[in-house]
């Protein structure tokens, strides 16, 4: 069920109509769980079996981690994490493993190659891991101790709601148990922050329906063999356009998720913080898909040792975290290469800073050059998302070099540049607000911008399509 579909609008309106009734206050969580299961199983009800099985596993293991015998709690935590990972590996990477070990046309290889990919599995398995690990941490961290209720019924209800809450269920933001479960309580209509919800929803739907969906009508030319017919300038512009599209698409989804959650009284973490103004790769990963990067840092990088075990281990931990973060996106070697690229970039950047700029502040020129380099390389790496066959990626790069003499379609270039302007302006306004002390004088501009975006949503949306991150 898409966020920009009639069915979704009907689900949200119907849920809100009942949710805030006085007689429904004691069952608000139950109502949202039902709405979430309808949302997830709408297109394919069979997916609910796996999803609910995952929930049962995480309810059981997280409860045992807290209330079983002390000498077995660590064992149950390990079991919970391992089972979550095995589910993710089987359904998401079965085809990749099968292709490496077996003939994909017969026997086990054919079976593994045809395993369906349940939508949102990367997100809800990570959230299950968060719950199990946070429950285990509760032995030492006081504020985590309330995550697992003594009543198994209440714990099951809280866990199901935490994982299933439909605004974030399919494409995040990835929630952490210690951030979300403490929010579970009775909600009142009078406490809704309507301005917050309006800003998130209008901006999110504008980025998705007007920007991403419009640009997508031309970035399909990146697919093989279509790109071979275009000139070098068009191919570079298409890459730039896809960079704008993937940001608008995913940031748009995250903003919509925040706005919808806000209508029900819940706060989801910010997932994007104007990433294309980043002047370094480390800054980029503090601003892009924040819920994933913070999850990987908290539950992988730090447990591996972080930066506490010497320079070499720091670089290794950083690199392996990014490679696994790349593979998290899908069962294709292009994602591993993408993660490897970002891992190497982070390691190289850290080495250069340590050797050259350790005690120096970055000036405006260095920041500008750094920003151009980071954006260019990040944009180039997005090609690995669009073309999951490494050979096609190579052919695209060769075409950029060799297709200089081909006719240039300026219609594609102009179209992409026009619909990329709002993304550039979006980041530019943030920069102005951050560095111009009198920016508050232009407070009237935000309501005007929101009104224009709302008008564009009504009058100028592109051809609707799935959100890009639904495939992950």
Residue numbers annotated as active site: 329
What is the rounded distance in angstroms from the CA atom of residue 123 to the CA atom of residue 51? Answer: 11
Query: If we measure between CA atoms, which residue out of 76, 321, 287, 32 comes closest to residue 180?
Result: 32
What is the rounded distance in angstroms from the CA atom of residue 44 to the CA atom of residue 47? Answer: 6
Contact predicate 230/292, CB 8 Å: no
The first and second tokens of residue 5, run together, are 């579909």
String of DSSP letters for 135-169:
HHHTTT-GGGGGGS-SSHHHHHHHHHHHHH-HHHH
Query: If we measure between CA atoms, which residue out of 232, 210, 240 comes closest to residue 383?
Result: 240
Separation of CA 128 from chain center? 16
What is the rounded distance in angstroms from the CA atom of residue 295 to the CA atom of residue 128? Answer: 12
Separation of CA 409 from chain center? 33
How far is residue 228 from each of residues 21, 186, 396, measured CA to CA in Å?
59, 57, 7
Contact predicate 272/289, CB 8 Å: yes
What is the rounded distance in angstroms from the CA atom of residue 29 to the CA atom of residue 147? Answer: 16
Ranges of H-type helices in 299-354: 302-304, 311-328, 333-352
What is the rounded distance in angstroms from the CA atom of residue 77 to the CA atom of residue 137? Answer: 10
> What is the number of alpha carbons within 13 Å of residue 60 lying toward its C-beta?
11
What is the rounded distance in angstroms from the CA atom of residue 61 to the CA atom of residue 76? Answer: 6
> What secondary structure letter does DSSP report for 280?
S
Rounded to a whole number of angstroms, the distance between the first and last alpha carbons of the chain is 16
Contact predicate 159/131, CB 8 Å: yes
Residue 467 sits at φ, ψ, to 5 deg, of -70, 140
Residue 125 sits at φ, ψ, to 5 deg, of -75, -35
The first and second tokens of residue 376, run together, are 């260019």
What is the rounded distance in angstroms from the CA atom of residue 419 to the CA atom of residue 277? Answer: 18
């Amino acid at each position: 069920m898409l966020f920009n579909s009639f069915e979704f609008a009907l689900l949200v309106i119907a849920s809100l109509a009942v949710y805030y009734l006085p007689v429904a206050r004691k069952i608000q969580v139950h109502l949202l769980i039902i709405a979430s299961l309808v949302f997830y199983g709408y297109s394919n009800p069979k997916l609910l079996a796996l999803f609910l099985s995952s929930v049962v596993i995480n309810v059981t293991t997280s409860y045992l981690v807290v209330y079983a015998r002390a000498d077995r709690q660590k064992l149950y935590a390990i079991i919970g994490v391992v089972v979550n990972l095995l589910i993710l590996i089987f359904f998401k990477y079965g085809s990749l493993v099968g292709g490496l070990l077996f003939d994909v046309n017969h026997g086990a290889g054919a079976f593994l190659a045809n395993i369906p990919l349940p939508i949102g599995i990367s997100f809800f398995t990570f959230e299950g891991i968060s719950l199990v690990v946070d429950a285990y941490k509760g032995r030492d961290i006081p504020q985590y101790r309330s995550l697992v209720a003594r009543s198994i019924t209440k714990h099951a209800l809280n866990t199901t709601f935490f994982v299933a809450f439909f605004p974030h269920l399919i494409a995040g933001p990835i929630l952490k148990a210690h951030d979300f479960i403490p929010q579970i309580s009775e909600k009142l209509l009078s406490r809704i922050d309507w301005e917050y919800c309006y800003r998130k929803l209008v901006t999110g739907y504008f980025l998705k329906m007007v920007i991403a969906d419009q640009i997508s009508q031309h970035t399909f030319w990146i697919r093989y063999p279509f790109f071979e017919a275009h000139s070098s300038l068009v191919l570079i512009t298409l890459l730039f356009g896809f960079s704008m599209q993937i940001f608008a698409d995913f940031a748009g989804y995250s903003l919509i998720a925040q706005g919808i959650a806000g209508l029900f009284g819940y706060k989801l973490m910010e997932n994007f913080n104007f990433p294309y103004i980043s002047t370094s790769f480390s800054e980029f990963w503090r601003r892009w898909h924040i819920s994933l990067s913070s999850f990987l840092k908290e539950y992988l990088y730090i447990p591996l040792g972080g930066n506490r075990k010497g320079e070499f281990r720091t670089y290794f931990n950083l690199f392996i975290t990014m490679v696994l973060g790349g593979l998290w996106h899908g069962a294709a070697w292009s994602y591993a290469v993408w993660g490897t690229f970002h891992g190497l970039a982070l390691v190289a950047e850290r080495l250069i800073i340590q050797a050259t700029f350790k005690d120096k502040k970055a000036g405006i020129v260095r920041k500008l050059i750094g920003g151009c380099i980071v954006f260019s390389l990040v944009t180039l790496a997005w090609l690995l998302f669009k073309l999951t066959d490494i050979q096609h990626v190579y052919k695209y790069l060769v075409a950029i070099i060799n297709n200089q003499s081909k006719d240039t379609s300026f219609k594609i270039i102009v179209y992409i540049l026009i619909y990329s302007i709002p993304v550039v302006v979006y980041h530019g306004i943030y920069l102005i607000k951050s560095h111009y002390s009198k920016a508050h004088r232009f407070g009237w501009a935000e309501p005007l911008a929101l009104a224009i975006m709302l008008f564009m949503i009504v009058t100028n949306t592109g051809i609707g399509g799935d959100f890009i991150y639904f495939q992950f």
